[in-house]
């Protein structure tokens, strides 16, 4: 079955009474070039396992199944289960799990399904939970080779920005702490059914073996990062003071102790400077 042929896909979906849910981020790829390219670029090979998030009608799943030893794909919408039973009928190496990815113990899933195999994550993410999913995948420190995901273009800019540069935000710092991030290729809105309002980008996150800076207390570091970036385009003092419940004088003194100007803005801070600032704030 050609899952990039709109007529075929619509026929299967309507046979199962399926209608697209905007709130679940259901925009399915119908451009025949996108999924093979994504599956190739994620680097999965014959001995490997893949976790997919949100198979939809299975258009990316079948490409992953052709290349991997095994695919476990996690779909929240139970209405898609009978659809997937039909579209993935020929794929013996695919298991569909009906669950919310954010409530799934992925480390346990890897142990159960992929013991001894290199594991990849490859997905066209539901955009309403892009950052929570990316952070969940990275913070769980899963033993995965890489995470190759399609996200909205604006999210790709933020996730792949360099720390200390204009597009960076709290999520940029967090991603960079756990992984290196790169953009692979752009995908126009016309590649989906129904077409979303914005263009997309496929990105690859490769988990680091060691963090780029030594941090004594990650929880404190990330609360400083979140607070510093909470009032975008303003000086970091305000966000740090309200986010950490510290007086502005105390924050100003910590900035000075870390060798930073009081007027500094969060998006100009390097990872190293944020680490030093955390030390100074909690000394
Ligand atoms: N992989 C398909 C494709 O590329 O055409 C569909 C991608 S669509 C952008 C996102 C998919 O994620 C939908 O099938 C949606 O039902 C599913 N989804 C939404 N929220 C989810 C969640 N919390 N956990 C797992 N799947 C979810």
State mean pLDDT over 81-100: 97
Residues of the chain above pLDDT 70, percent: 100
Place 231 in a pLDDT band, splitting at 50, 70 and 90: confident
Q: Is the pLDDT at 103 greater than 90, yes or no?
A: yes
CB atoms within 10 A of CB 141: 10
Ligand 1, atom 6: nearest CA belongs to which residue?
56
Which residue, among 139, 130, 188, has the nearest Cα to 159 in the 3D structure?
130
Which residue, among 178, 174, 184, has the nearest Cα to 204 in the 3D structure?
184
Is 60 a pocket residue for ligand 1 (Cβ < 6 Å)?
Answer: yes
Is 27 a pocket residue for ligand 1 (Cβ < 6 Å)?
Answer: yes
Tokens of 127: 């955009």
Q: How confident is the prediction for the chain on average, in pLDDT? A: 96
Position 234 scores a pLDDT of 83
How far is it, in rounded angstroms, from Cα 95 to Cα 72? 5
Position 232 scores a pLDDT of 75
Higher pLDDT, residue 24 or 233: 24
Q: Is the pLDDT at 88 greater than 90, yes or no?
A: yes
Q: Sign of the C-alpha dihedral, residues 17, 20, 23, 29? A: positive
Is 205 a pocket residue for ligand 1 (Cβ < 6 Å)?
Answer: no
CB 60 within 8 A of CB 38: yes
Position 26 scores a pLDDT of 98
CB atoms within 10 A of CB 159: 26
Q: pLDDT of 14-73, one tens digit each? A: 999 999 999 999 999 999 999 999 999 999 999 999 999 999 999 999 999 999 999 999
Q: Is the pLDDT at 4 greater than 90, yes or no?
A: yes
Position 200 scores a pLDDT of 98
| Angstrom distances, CA of residue 29 to CA of 17, 22, 153 | 19, 15, 16
Is 44 a pocket residue for ligand 1 (Cβ < 6 Å)?
Answer: no
- Residue spans of the domains in the chain: they are 6-207, 218-281
CB proximity list for 206: less than 8 A, separation 6 or greater:
145, 146, 147, 179, 180, 181, 182
| Angstrom distances, CA of residue 52 to CA of 21, 59, 179 | 19, 11, 19
How far is it, in rounded angstroms, from Cα 3 to Cα 87? 8
| Angstrom distances, CA of residue 79 to CA of 20, 21, 56, 157, 225 | 10, 11, 10, 33, 40
Q: Is the pLDDT at 233 greater than 80, yes or no?
A: no
Position 191 scores a pLDDT of 98
Position 167 scores a pLDDT of 85
Q: pLDDT of 170-182, one tens digit each? A: 999 999 999 999 9
The CATH topology of domain 218-281 is Helicase, Ruva Protein; domain 3 (1.10.8)
Is 217 a pocket residue for ligand 1 (Cβ < 6 Å)?
Answer: no
Position 172 scores a pLDDT of 96
Ligand 1 atom closest to the CA of 104, numbered from 1: 24
How far is it, in rounded angstroms, from Cα 171 to Cα 156? 11
Position 18 scores a pLDDT of 97
Q: pLDDT of 138-189, one tens digit each? A: 999 999 999 999 999 999 999 999 999 888 999 999 999 999 999 999 999 9
CB atoms within 10 A of CB 167: 14
State mean pLDDT over 263-269: 93
- Out of 62, 105, 126, mutate this one to test ligand 1's pocket (max ligand atoms within 8 Å of CB): namely 126
Which own/partner pairs from 182-190 qualify as long-range (CB within 8 Å, at least 24 positions apart)? Answer: 182/206, 183/156, 184/38, 184/41, 184/148, 185/37, 185/41, 186/153, 187/29, 187/31, 187/34, 187/150, 190/31
Q: Is the pLDDT at 283 greater than 90, yes or no?
A: no
Q: Is the pLDDT at 104 greater than 80, yes or no?
A: yes
Position 95 scores a pLDDT of 98
Is 118 a pocket residue for ligand 1 (Cβ < 6 Å)?
Answer: no
Q: Is the pLDDT at 215 greater than 80, yes or no?
A: yes
Query: For the domain 6-207, what is the CATH superfamily, name and number?
Result: Vaccinia Virus protein VP39 (3.40.50.150)
Q: Is the pLDDT at 97 greater than 90, yes or no?
A: yes
| The pairing of beta strand 119-124 with beta strand 147-152 | parallel
Position 44 scores a pLDDT of 97
Q: pLDDT of 107-131, one tens digit each? A: 999 999 999 999 999 999 999 999 9
């Amino acid at each position: 079955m050609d899952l990039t042929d709109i007529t075929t896909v619509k026929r299967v979906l309507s046979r199962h009474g399926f209608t697209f849910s905007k709130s679940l981020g259901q925009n399915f790829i119908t451009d025949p070039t996108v999924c093979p390219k994504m599956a190739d670029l994620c680097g999965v090979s014959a001995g490997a396992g893949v976790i997919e998030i949100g198979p939809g009608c299975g258009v990316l799943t079948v490409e992953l199944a052709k290349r991997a030893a095994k695919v476990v794909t996690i779909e929240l919408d139970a209405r898609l289960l009978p659809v997937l039973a039909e579209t993935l009928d020929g794929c013996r190496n695919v298991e569909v799990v009906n669950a919310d990815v954010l409530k799934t113990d992925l480390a346990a899933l890897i142990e159960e399904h992929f013991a001894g195999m290199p594991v990849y994550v490859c997905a066209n993410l539901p955009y309403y939970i892009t950052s929570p999913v990316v952070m969940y995948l990275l913070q769980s420190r899963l033993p995965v080779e890489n995470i190759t995901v399609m996200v909205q273009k604006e999210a790709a800019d933020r996730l792949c920005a360099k720390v200390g540069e204009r597009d960076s935000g709290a999520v940029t710092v967090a991603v960079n702490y756990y992984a290196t991030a790169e953009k692979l290729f752009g995908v126009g809105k016309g590649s989906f059914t129904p077409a979303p309002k914005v263009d997309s980008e496929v990105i690859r996150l490769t988990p680091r073996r060691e963090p780029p800076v030594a941090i004594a207390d990650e929880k404190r570091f990330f609360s400083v990062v979140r607070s510093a970036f909470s009032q975008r385009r303003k000086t970091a003092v305000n966000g740090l003071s309200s986010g950490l419940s510290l007086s502005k004088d105390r924050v100003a003194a910590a900035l000075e102790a870390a060798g930073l100007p009081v007027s500094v803005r969060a998006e100009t801070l390097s990872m190293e400077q944020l680490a030093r600032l955390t030390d100074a704030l909690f000394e």
